[in-house]
Amino acid sequence: MMDVTDANRDAAADAMIRACLSLDQPRSFFLFAGAGSGKTASLKDALEELDTKTMTTLRKHSRKIAVITYTNAAADEITRRVKADPVFQVQTIHSFAWSLIEGRTADIRGWLESNLQTEIAKIEADHAKGRAGKAHDERVRKMASKKRRLKRLAEIRAFTYAPEGDYFGRDALQHSEVIALAAHFLTESETFQNIVLARYPFILIDESQDTMKLLMEALLTFQARHRGSIALGLLGDTMQRIYTDGLRDLDQRVGNFAQPAKQMNHRSRARIVDLANAIRRDDDGRQQRPREDKPGGTVRVFLAPSEGTDRKAFEAWTREEMARISKDPTWQDAEAIKTLMIERHMAAARLGFSELFEPLSRPDKLKDGFRDGTLPAMRLFTHRVLPLVTAQKNGDAFAAMAVLHDCSPLVDKRFIRAVRGSQATGLDAARAGVAALMTLFKDERDPICAEVLMVVAEHQLFPIPEQLRPCLPNNSPMADILAELGPLFDEMDLPALEATPPTEITITEAWMQALEAPFSQVARYLAYVEDRSPYGTHQGVKGLEFPRVMVIADDDRTRFKGLASYETLFGVKPLSPDAQKKADKGEETAIERTRRLLYVTCTRAEESLALVLYSEAPDTIRRFLLSNKWMVEDEVVMAAANGTYQEAAPKH
C-alpha cells in the first residue's frame, strides 16, 4: 500500500476526475478545490492523462473536449500544456458561447426579434406610466434605438461578435446577448442540443463559481436532460466567488454529480492556512491541510482608528513591524509587498479615481463590467480616447493614426460611403477632430470626461455607445447624425429598461455623474483594472500567490459604500434594514461577500500576511478576532488613540 504524503494525499480526487472522463460512461463532477490546492493542475493533469483509446476515438469522430477557463492567460497556459492539440477546445466563457451560436443567423435573428419586441413593449408600458424628465427622455431614446434595430434585422446577412473587445456594427452582438442566446438554445432547441452532444462528450469549466448564472443554469439543465451522454466537469470553490452574477448556490445544485474534494493547501504556510480555515468556518465549514514542509508562517492584524490616523505613516510602520516580527527585512521594501484591498472602492479612493468609480459601481447592470474593465461604454475612454490622447501627447503620429484606423468611423469605408465622402475628406475630418480634442488638454489642462465626450461626438471621432447617448444634449450636432446613421455603428444596448427603485441610481444618472470626473482618472482606473497599480484587486490576483501580502480594509468615508463591509463582518456595524430584509429572504448579505473577499485576499500569501484594518471601533474588531479564535493575543497590534503604536494588543 502506498504511503500517504502531502504530494499524493489528493490523488483520489484526481483519479475520480479521470474516471468521470469516460466516453462509455461519462459522469458529471464538481471538484471542490480551496485556495492553493492545485485545482488548475488537476485540470491539466486530467487532460494530459487521457488514454490513447479515448483520444483516438475523439479524433476519429471529430469530437472535442471543451475547456472553459476564467482568463485568456489561463487558456494559453492550458493550451501550452496540452501542446495545442486540436482535440482540446480551450476558450473563455464568452468565446465558448460564441462558438456555439456562430453562424446560426436565422435563429439569432428570430431570438433578437422576439426579444426586442418584448423590450419595446415593456418600455412603452413604463413610458405610459412615467412622468416627464430624464427618465422620460431616456425611454424615448431607448424605444427609438430598439425600433431602428428591429427594423433593420432583416438586412443582416451574418452576425458578428468580438469576445475580447468591441465591435460597433449594426450586425454586432453584445456580450450579454451572446450569453443569453447560448443559454436559450441550450435549453429550448432540441436540434441545437443534439449538435452540442455530437460535438462534445465533456465540457469542463474552471472557476465555475464565477461563470455567469444564466449560462451555468442552462448548462445544468442541459446536463440533466442528457445525463449519461455528456459530462459537465465543474472545478472551483464557492468561497472564492467574486462576481455577483455567479451562481450563488452552485454547490447545492450538483447533488447527483461526483464530488471529488482536495484537502491540501500547497501554497501557504501553516499559520496562514489556519487563518483561512477560521475565516470560512462559519460559511461552509470546509477545512484545508497545510503541507508538513511548510510549518510556521506569520500573521498579524494591525488595528487603527478611522479618524486621526496617518495612513501612510501607519502602513509604513506596519511594514517595519512585519520585517521585525517575521525576521524578513524585505518587508521594509513597499514594492516587494503585494498590497490588496478587500473592496474596490477603497482602492479607487487611494488611487484617485473615486469620482469615476463610485457612480458606475452602483447600478447592477454596470458594476461587474465596470469593475473588471469590460464595460463597453467605458472602453470608449480607456481603449479609444486615452490611447489617442497619449499618442498625441507623445508626438507619436503613427500610433494615433493606428487608433483611428482601428476605431474611428471617419476612416471606415462604410461610413464614408454613407455620407458620400471620400477617404481624403475622412482623414481631414479625423485630423480636425483630433486637433479639437487636444485643445482640451492645452497647457496641462485636465478636462472632465463630459467635455471629452462632447468633442468626440461633435467630430464623430468614435462611435458613441448607446449608454452614453442620453448624456449628449438634444441639440448636439451629433444628434441628427446618430438618428440617421446610428444603426451603422450602434452598440447593442442593455436588456429592457426596468423600473428603478427611488433609492437606486439609473444607468443614465450614473453616467452623468461619472462624466463629471477629470479625464486623468481614466488612466488611473485602467491601471487599476489591469493590475498595474500599487493596489491589487481580488479579481486580478485570484489564482496568484505572493510571499508577502498586506491586506487593507479601510472605510474611505465617501458617501458611496461598497458591496462589502468588513465592519459589519466584525460586528462593529449591524446589517442595514434593507440588508436585513434580504438576509431574511435568504439573499446574500454584506457579511457573506466580505468573508469571501477576505478569504480570497488572505489566501494569496505564501510566507507572511499583514491585515491592516481601520475602524471607528478597533476594540470591537479585536474582541471579534480573539473570541472567534481567528487570532491570539500577540497577533493583534493596536494603534493608540494618540497615534502611537504598541507591539501587542492589551489584555483584558
Residue 652 lies in a domain: no
Predicted confidence at residue 482, as pLDDT, reads 44
Supply the DSSP string of 20-63, one letter for each residue: H--SSS---EEEE--TTS-HHHHHHHHHHT--HHHHHHHHHTT-
Residue 348: HSE in the Cβ half-sphere, 13 Å Cα cutoff: 26
Please identify, among 212, 239, 265, the residue that sits at the C-terminal boundary of a domain: 265
297 and 339 fall within a common domain: yes
Helix-then-strand count for the chain, H and E: 29, 13
Give the helix, strand, coil percentages of the chain, each rounded to 5: 55, 10, 35
**Main-chain dihedrals φ then ψ at residue 211, nearest 5 degrees:** -70, 135
Angle at 638 (CA atoms; ends 633, 640), nearest 5 degrees: 140
User: Do 33 and 16 have their domain in common?
Assistant: yes
The pLDDT averaged over each successive group of 10 residues in the chain (652 residues) is 85 95 96 92 89 94 93 83 90 94 95 94 85 73 86 92 71 89 96 96 94 94 96 94 84 94 96 97 93 97 93 94 97 92 79 90 78 84 96 94 88 60 72 95 96 94 86 59 41 33 66 96 92 67 83 67 77 84 82 90 96 94 97 92 49 39
DSSP conformation letters of 572-613: SSPPPHHHHHHHHTT---HHHHHHHHHHHHHTTEEEEEEEEE
Sheet-wide strand order for 546-553: 535-536, 338-341, 546-553, 605-615, 298-305, 636-638
Query: Distance between CA 66 and CA 644 in Å, rounded?
Result: 57
Is 648 within the bounds of a domain? no
Report pLDDT for 126.
Answer: 84
Angle between helices 507-514 and 134-152 (to 10 degrees): 110
pLDDT at 349: 84
Judge whether 166 lies within some domain. no
pLDDT of residue 134: 67
* Residue 481 CA: distances (Å) to CA of 148, 419, 427, 583: 14, 10, 18, 49
- 535 and 512 within one domain: no
Helix (H) or strand (E) holding 69: strand 65-69
Domain boundary among the residues 458, 486, 516 is at: 516
Domain boundary among 460, 485, 516: 516
Q: Are residues 295 and 340 in the same domain?
A: yes
510 is in which domain, residue-wise?
Answer: 356-516
Taking a C-beta distance cutoff of 8 angstroms, is the pair 493, 466 a contact? yes
Phi, psi of 226 (to 5 degrees): -125, 35
Phi, psi of 639 (to 5 degrees): -90, 130
Can you give the CATH number for the domain in which 562 is found?
3.40.50.300
Instruction: Note whether 460 and 421 are within 8 A (CB).
Output: no
How long is the chain?
652
Burial class of residue 321, CB neighbours in 10 A (0-12, 13-18, 19+)? middle
**pLDDT given for residue 3 in this prediction:** 84
Angle between helices 520-529 and 344-351 (to 10 degrees): 140
pTM: 0.82
The whole-number pLDDT of residue 641 equals 53
Same domain, 282 and 326: yes
**Using a CB cutoff of 8 Å and minimum separation of 24, what contacts does 132-139 make?**
134/470, 134/506, 134/508, 134/509, 135/500, 135/506, 137/470, 137/474, 138/470, 138/497, 138/506, 138/508, 139/497
Q: What is the pLDDT of residue 490?
A: 41
Question: From CA 301, how far away is CA 107, in angstroms rounded?
Answer: 56
pLDDT at 417: 55
Note whether 121 and 187 are same-domain residues: no
* Spatial separation of the C-alpha atoms in residues 161 and 152, rounded to whole Å: 17
Residue 141 within any structural domain of the chain: yes
pLDDT at residue number 205: 95
Asked if 141 and 212 sit in the same domain, the reply is: no
Q: How many domains does the chain have?
A: 4
Residue whose C-alpha cell is 468580438: 162
Asked if the structure places residue 164 within a domain, the reply is no
Check whether residue 84 and residue 215 sit in a common domain: yes
Sign of CA dihedral 16, 17, 23, 28: positive
Examine the domain organization and report whether 534 and 618 are in the same domain.
yes
The DSSP bridge partners found for residue 90 are 67
Instruction: Note whether 33 and 126 are same-domain residues.
Output: no
Q: Three-state SS string across 302-368, please?
A: EEEECCCCCHHHHHHHHHHHHHHHHCCHHHHCHHHCEEEECCHHHHHHHHCCHHHHHHHCCCHHHHH
Backbone angles phi, psi at 48, to 5 degrees: -70, -25
Contacts of 138 (CB under 8 A, 6+ apart): 470, 497, 506, 508
Q: Are residues 43 and 94 in the same domain?
A: yes
Same domain, 462 and 366: yes
Give dist(CA 262, CA 235) in Å, integer: 11
Any domain includes 393:
yes
The reply to whether 389 falls in a domain is yes
pLDDT of the residue at 496: 29
The answer to whether residue 2 is domain-embedded is: no
> Which of 545, 619, 539 lies closest to 301, judged by CA?
619
Asked if 517 and 449 touch (Cβ cutoff 8 Å), the reply is yes
Pairwise CA distance, residues 125 & 119, whole Å: 10
